Amino acid sequence: MDRKTVASKLENRVFDMDVHDTDVSNACYEALYHGFASVQVFPVMVEECRKILGGSNVKIAVLIDYPHGGFPPEIKKMEILDAKKRGADIFNVCFTNRNVKDGKWDLVDRELQILREAAGESELRIFLETEYLTDEEITKLCERAVGRGIDTVITSTGLYYKLDKESGREVPVRAEARDVRLVRKAVGERAKIMAQGFIDDWDLAKEILEAGADLIGSVKAVKLLEEFHWRGDEPCMTKK
């Protein structure tokens, strides 16, 4: 892979609300400068992003029912329709994984259908939260998702922590290549895979891409690209 290819597989993230307009605009300008695929923001940030990214190849991906996915699908539909009016290109939806854990597959199918109808022709993604699902649940959800027209599955919101038994401390739940391989086996080439989950160094990013991920979402997107560049994964005439 060259620098341009790697950049096209990255999505710059703004997933905190305690940020200034300049933080949002900086994320957009970084995406433009480096050639990232998209930026991931909240609905209230879409219009600010559109001022900068309108007419460019960088897409605006909006977070829906972030981070827990606890709203009914009808509310998520309203969020999608509102974000669409604001100028969003892609919808990253937090799915109701509680229904998956309870085996309520009729409700899973209903939500998938409502989301697909709301998004229309736009790209629709759902967060799986692989860290909380069994391999069987992940496979079953993925199969139902692609069967109902979901364009991209995202491994995780990349938000949660877990208890490390050895240290007794809370540690971030990082994306894993095994989860990507499991999802790829389930969706085949019928959907794209986006990985998230504290992907903050190029070694992990490279492993995940090689496992079959099409995209990586990270607040460290610029750092990942710089590490790829300076680690020697591509020829660089300016490297000292």
pLDDT attached to residue 239? 34
pLDDT attached to residue 237? 34
Domain count, the chain: 1
- The secondary element (H helix, E strand) that includes residue 178 is helix 177-187
Residue 235 maps to a domain: no
**Rg of the chain taking only CA atoms, in angstroms:** 18
Residue 236 maps to a domain: no
Coarse DSSP helix, strand, coil percentages of the chain, rounded to the nearest 5 percent: 45, 15, 35
Residue 63 maps to a domain: yes
Q: Which domain holds residue 104?
A: 3-230
Residue 183, helix vs strand vs coil? helix
pLDDT attached to residue 154? 98
Residue 93 maps to a domain: yes
* Alpha-carbon gap, residue 91 to 142, rounded angstroms: 17
Tokens of 123: 């790209």
**DSSP code of residue 197:** S
Residue 239 maps to a domain: no
Question: What are 90's strand-pairing partners?
Answer: 61, 123
Residue 41 maps to a domain: yes
pLDDT less than 50: residues of the chain: 235-240
Query: Which residue type occupies 69?
Result: G
| CA distances from residue 48 to 13, 81, 213 in whole angstroms, order as listed | 15, 18, 29
Sign (positive or negative) of CA dihedral 61, 63, 67, 68: negative
CB within 8 A of 114, min separation 6: which ones? 73, 74, 76, 77
Q: Given the DSSP bridges, would you call strands 59-64 and 38-41 parallel, antiparallel or unpaired?
A: parallel
CB within 8 A of 174, min separation 6: which ones? 197, 198, 199, 204
Q: List the CATH number of the domain containing 14.
A: 3.20.20.70
pLDDT attached to residue 209? 97
pTM attached to this predicted model: 0.93
pLDDT attached to residue 45? 96
* 188-205 pLDDT tens trace: 999 999 999 999 999 999
Residue 204 maps to a domain: yes
Helices (H), 42-174: 46-53, 73-86, 97-101, 105-119, 135-147
pLDDT attached to residue 233? 63
